[in-house]
Structure 1
Amino acid sequence: MSEPTATFLYAKDGYDTSRPRLMGRHAAGEGFLRGMIRHSGFDRLVALVPQPADAAAFQAQARDLGATMALEAVPEAELHRVSETGCLMLPGPGMAGLAWRRQRFGAAHFSLVGITHTTASHGAMDNIAELLTGPLRPWDALICTSAAVRASVTRLLEGEAAWLAERLGATRFVTPALPVIPLGVDVAALARDEAARADWRQRLGVGPADVVVLHHGRLSFHAKAHPLPMFLGLGRAAAAAPAGARVHLVLSGWFADEVQRGAFQAMAQALCPMLAIHHVDGRLPAVRQQIWSAADAFTLLSDNIQETFGLAPVEAMAAGLPVVATDWDGLRDTVEHRVTGFRIPTLMGGPMADLAARHEAALDSYDSYIGGAAQFTAVDVGATEDAFRALVADAGLRARMGEAGRQRAASLFDWSTVIGQYRALWAELAAIRGAAAPTPGESPRRADPARLFAEYPTRRLGPETRLRLAPGIADAAAAVARLMALVAIPGIAPRRELLPGEDSFRTALRVLDAGPASVAAIVAALPPARARRLARALAWLVKVDVLRMAEEEA
């Protein structure tokens, strides 16, 4: 066995999946610890712990996950001891504070390696921006879990650098490396269990010819994935299912509150009453382990800037399920379109600098900020329906895509591979370290999300973007009637106050009575302030399937 090449910061909060408010970062933390135990090759696993209670929790959790190597908990007050392993792995991007502490006894003592989870919060953005002013070195790294995240991190750093250049005349910036390394999964543990499949399908009342589509994760219309495109697309596919086949949607997750639960139920009843929908508590260990086996396909139509990677679709591929996911952030790296599933195009409206400004002033909460950005991010409903139709109708396609996904997960995302990438990074940083002696109009840290996250969507709504009325909507009057009916449904427009008034919609949509038109033409009749507000809201009209991209006619 080799000596350790990294210590990792362990606080129970970051690794605990038994908590009521289970988040993706907790599942990722537990997975990382399991991966280190099984695939690091270490004969000694070292954790830096902030509190004595964390030391006990680390020992207990590591043993529960099968650790047989020696375990050592180092108090955070003894940070200098990280030099014994050469690298400190952090569960987030907050590296500057530790870099300043490291400076006291020499920056070349060890490397700091952080990782991105959400990058949309004030805390995460501040941590990333501070990489420029903290004493980070070339032998440090911030792991980005997807190419889209690296682009947004780079954009944030560029904005901060521009401000420092203007304010201080700064010309030289030392930044950590920004490697792209995905999150990992335990592929073998997610293999289909036929006994679990039979048991769950019996419990759910699933017939032999029925098709089960699984959505696993936190159930939140403002902070995870708005369910409208899923309900519309899958509901329409269910209505066209082969004779004798019923389509079931299993929502495996948890609601933050009764408002969320009520909104999901209201939307389901209004948009897809024919769809058989089941809710199971995805926080329960038995559910998290077995529910994959009950399904025939998986979906996550993320539209949220809080998302950066999307672990559940990779878990689904490991379980042999075809995936219907959005062409969004890390999902663009993981799901191979038309091979392991379908990536559904997304469209982001903007600008949204007002959302960033209100959040900065504490006038809006973080949930309101990300919910507002999501409201102006559309998922292509037509493409969603087509993807679900194809999978519902063709068991052979489901099997081929599922097997391709399983192979892709095994080759790229199994923890054995991901830990190998970590080890290669640690070695590269050690080599670098060994050669060392002992005017934007907005705050770059609170950038317009439509600009900061520009690489997330398939395309961005611009003046030249051409739109048309969605199929079944005859004219502007029908479009306005449709959108007003939708707005009345709880959760359809969680930030309704950000939408233009009915008169603005009516004035602009009259342009489309004559056929497809550009965004510039649609908003031309409105005063400038109202035109800007209406222009981004056109993305919401695409989101709720009142409008479609004119290119879809091709």
Structure 2
Amino acid sequence: MSPPRATILYAKDGYDTSRPRLMGRHAAGEGFLRGMVRHSGFDRLVALVPRPADAAAFQAQARDLSATMALEAVPEAELHRVAETGCLMLPGPEMVPFAWRRQRTGAAGYSLVGITHTTASHGAMDSIADLLTGPLQPWDALICTSAAVRASVRRLLEGEAAWLKQRLGATRFVPPALPVIPLGVDVPALARDEAARALWRGRLGVGPRDVVVLHHGRLSFHAKAHPLPMFLGLGRAAAAAPAGARVHLLLSGWFADEVQRGAFQAMAQALCPQLAIHHVDGRKPEVRQAIWSAADAFTLLSDNVQETFGLAPVEAMAAGLPVVATDWDGLRDTVEHGVTGFRVPTLMGGPMGDLAARHEATLDSYDSYIAGAAQFTAVDVGATEEAFRALVADAGLRARMGEAGRQRAAALFDWSVVIGQYRALWAELGAIRGKAKPGTGDSPRRADPAVLFADYPTRRLGGQTRLRLAPGIPDAAAAVARLTALAAIPGVAPRRELLPAEAGFQAALAVLEGGPATVAAMAAAVPPARAARLARALAWLVKVDVLRMAEDGS
């Protein structure tokens, strides 16, 4: 085992697959945590957590995933401790806020590594464009899960750079690295289970010569994959199936609402009435784990710009299923055409600048924006039909492609391989960071309020400011007793957690028992690491009339 070389930003929302509105990023987050638990080789797993509840959730989830290493949850308020591991893994592309916060303790202290999921939303687009003006460094990286998404990220950055050059004359930019690392799957866990296969096929009424084509994931015509090409292509292939073989379409997924459910049912009835269609809730753990074994082939005909990788086809390959997928985004990286399945050509119309303008102005919602883009993206129905016909007619072809897919998944997409790529990236970024000069600096938009608002007060507390005990307070003990009583009154110390411990006050106030003293002399009474906090708190003691300003010569 080795010490950790990365800290995970953990908020339960990003890793929770038990939610009703399950998204790909949740499944990817859970898979990443499982991969880290099993394949990181760390002697402890460290998470940066925004809330105490996230710390408990991290500990519980990691143990549920059979973590045997030590687990450590670091409060987000202690972000500087990421330097202990050297890297902060973020669950999305929102890197700039953390880069600004890193500035305060030194940009060379650690690396930031984000990852793409969808890049079509306002938030994702803005987060990527902001990479050029935030304090990102050469030792930071935004992982792109596919070559196609890296191309779109580069296009966004190039457009932003052109605008900054036109507006400000800017010519030098320091974007993060853009490595391509895929999402991973647990290949052994997806191996075919013959008992589960018999159970599910019996439950669905599937005959011994029947062919089951599985579609697993969200069932959404506007945000995932429009089902029309699937219904047309598979329906026509079913009509030409060998005698005695019935084709079944198994929809393992979940509808966003009843409108989506009704649309799927209406399209199926109108376009492929001869196809046997079954629906199971793919959010249930027992379904997500076992449903792959019921199938003979898998399909995902994605046509949506919100997609960037497509995890389900990789899971299908791990389960030994041939895949019929679109030649689209990350599917182009995962499905090897003619070897592990078939990639169906796609066609995008345009221009669609009006959709971008309406989305930017919030006249169209995100769902309307991606639905509009998908409406003008076509999937080749003829090629879809040919692919399904080939697989339905030839069990040998299904077996060969399925085995090729299983081998490809094990070689390229198993978490043991993917986490190895992460480790190599952390090492590469660490080597670059090691050559950087240390330094600190504030965020210009979030400056120290004592500096930003320095012209507001009559005077500022400084090291040579002289203070004395307020009238009626004879010594340090009396001063501490008074401030303790005052702090107990609701509202007197609304941010009590910012005050030093009582022992620190006691040591500093003891300096005044011999008469007025400077702030510097009082701060010197506590360890150096606590001096700045103590010095600042002396202003609060003046506020509550435990201390007063000492006039020159008093």
Q: Same fold (TM over 0.5)?
A: yes
SS in 1 for 2:219: coil
Q: How does 1:237-256 map to 2 (within 5 A)?
A: 237-256=237-256
Q: How does 1:148-227 map to 2 (within 5 A)?
A: 148-227=148-227
**How far is the alpha carbon of 1:120 from its aligned partner?**
0.3
* Residue 414 (structure 1) aligned with residue 387 (structure 2): no
Q: Which residue of 2 aligns with 1:352?
A: 352
Q: How does 1:306-325 map to 2 (within 5 A)?
A: 306-325=306-325
SS in 1 for 2:71: strand
Output the CA distance in 2 between the equivalents of 1:122 and 1:435.
36
The letter for the 2-side match of 1:144 is C
SS in 2 for 1:249: strand
**How far is the alpha carbon of 1:80 from its aligned partner?**
0.2
Output the CA distance in 2 between the equivalents of 1:91 and 1:361.
27
The letter for the 2-side match of 1:229 is P
**How far is the alpha carbon of 1:428 from its aligned partner?**
0.1
Per-residue CA distance 1:353-389 (angstroms, 9 max, x = gap): 1001001111110000000000000000000000000
**How far is the alpha carbon of 1:394 from its aligned partner?**
0.1
Output the CA distance in 2 between the equivalents of 1:66 and 1:281.
26
Output the CA distance in 1 between the equivalents of 2:80 and 2:19.
32
SS in 2 for 1:237: helix
Output the CA distance in 1 between the equivalents of 2:377 and 2:85.
44
The letter for the 2-side match of 1:71 is L
Output the CA distance in 1 between the equivalents of 2:418 and 2:270.
43
Output the CA distance in 2 between the equivalents of 1:159 and 1:8.
31
**How far is the alpha carbon of 1:47 from its aligned partner?**
0.2
Q: How does 1:227-306 map to 2 (within 5 A)?
A: 227-306=227-306
Q: Which consecutive segments of 4 or more residues in structure 1 shift more than 3 A?
A: none
Per-residue CA distance 1:174-219 (angstroms, 9 max, x = gap): 0100000000000000000000000000000000000000000000
**How far is the alpha carbon of 1:37 from its aligned partner?**
0.3
Output the CA distance in 2 between the equivalents of 1:356 and 1:52.
40
**How far is the alpha carbon of 1:146 from its aligned partner?**
0.1
**How far is the alpha carbon of 1:340 from its aligned partner?**
0.1
Q: Which residue of 1 aligns with 2:380?
A: 380
Q: Which residue of 2 aligns with 1:494?
A: none
Output the CA distance in 1 between the equivalents of 2:260 and 2:65.
33
**How far is the alpha carbon of 1:43 from its aligned partner?**
0.6
Q: Which residue of 2 aligns with 1:58?
A: 58
The letter for the 1-side match of 2:44 is R
The letter for the 1-side match of 2:102 is R
Per-residue CA distance 1:241-290 (angstroms, 9 max, x = gap): 00000000000000000000000000000000000000000000000000
Output the CA distance in 1 between the equivalents of 2:3 and 2:437.
24
Per-residue CA distance 1:25-51 (angstroms, 9 max, x = gap): 000000000000000000100000011
* Residue 109 (structure 1) aligned with residue 109 (structure 2): yes
Output the CA distance in 2 between the equivalents of 1:36 and 1:419.
7
The letter for the 1-side match of 2:420 is G
The letter for the 2-side match of 1:237 is A
SS in 2 for 1:158: helix
Q: Which residue of 1 aligns with 2:404?
A: 404
Unaligned runs of 5+ in 2: 439-554
Q: Which residue of 2 aligns with 1:326?
A: 326
Q: Which residue of 1 aligns with 2:520?
A: none
The letter for the 1-side match of 2:329 is D
Output the CA distance in 1 between the equivalents of 2:97 and 2:353.
29
Per-residue CA distance 1:147-174 (angstroms, 9 max, x = gap): 0000000000000000000000001000
Output the CA distance in 2 between the equivalents of 1:164 and 1:50.
34
**How far is the alpha carbon of 1:139 from its aligned partner?**
0.1
SS in 2 for 1:224: coil
Output the CA distance in 2 between the equivalents of 1:164 and 1:171.
8
SS in 1 for 2:249: strand
Output the CA distance in 2 between the equivalents of 1:122 and 1:148.
19
Output the CA distance in 1 between the equivalents of 2:233 and 2:115.
34
Per-residue CA distance 1:497-546 (angstroms, 9 max, x = gap): xxxxxxxxxxxxxxxxxxxxxxxxxxxxxxxxxxxxxxxxxxxxxxxxxx
Output the CA distance in 2 between the equivalents of 1:231 and 1:338.
22
Output the CA distance in 2 between the equivalents of 1:362 and 1:6.
38
**How far is the alpha carbon of 1:402 from its aligned partner?**
0.1
**How far is the alpha carbon of 1:235 from its aligned partner?**
0.1
Per-residue CA distance 1:411-464 (angstroms, 9 max, x = gap): 0000000000000000000000000001xxxxxxxxxxxxxxxxxxxxxxxxxx
Q: Which residue of 2 aligns with 1:428?
A: 428
Unaligned runs of 5+ in 1: 439-554
Output the CA distance in 1 between the equivalents of 2:201 and 2:265.
22
SS in 2 for 1:304: coil
Q: Which residue of 2 aligns with 1:500?
A: none
Output the CA distance in 1 between the equivalents of 2:115 and 2:164.
24
Q: How does 1:468-507 map to 2 (within 5 A)?
A: none
Instruction: Report which structure shows greater RCO (CA 8 Å, sep ≥6).
Output: 1
SS in 2 for 1:429: helix
SS in 2 for 1:114: strand
**How far is the alpha carbon of 1:118 from its aligned partner?**
0.2
SS in 1 for 2:81: helix
What RMSD over aligned residues (CA atoms) do the two structures have, in Å? 0.3
Output the CA distance in 1 between the equivalents of 2:377 and 2:50.
39
SS in 2 for 1:182: coil
SS in 2 for 1:100: helix
The letter for the 2-side match of 1:212 is V
The letter for the 2-side match of 1:274 is Q
Output the CA distance in 2 between the equivalents of 1:300 and 1:274.
21
SS in 2 for 1:254: strand
SS in 2 for 1:195: helix
The letter for the 1-side match of 2:252 is S
The letter for the 2-side match of 1:334 is T
Output the CA distance in 2 between the equivalents of 1:3 and 1:38.
15
**How far is the alpha carbon of 1:87 from its aligned partner?**
0.2
Output the CA distance in 2 between the equivalents of 1:378 and 1:10.
38
**How far is the alpha carbon of 1:97 from its aligned partner?**
0.6
The letter for the 1-side match of 2:321 is L
Q: Which residue of 1 aligns with 2:126?
A: 126
SS in 2 for 1:112: strand
Output the CA distance in 2 between the equivalents of 1:34 and 1:109.
27
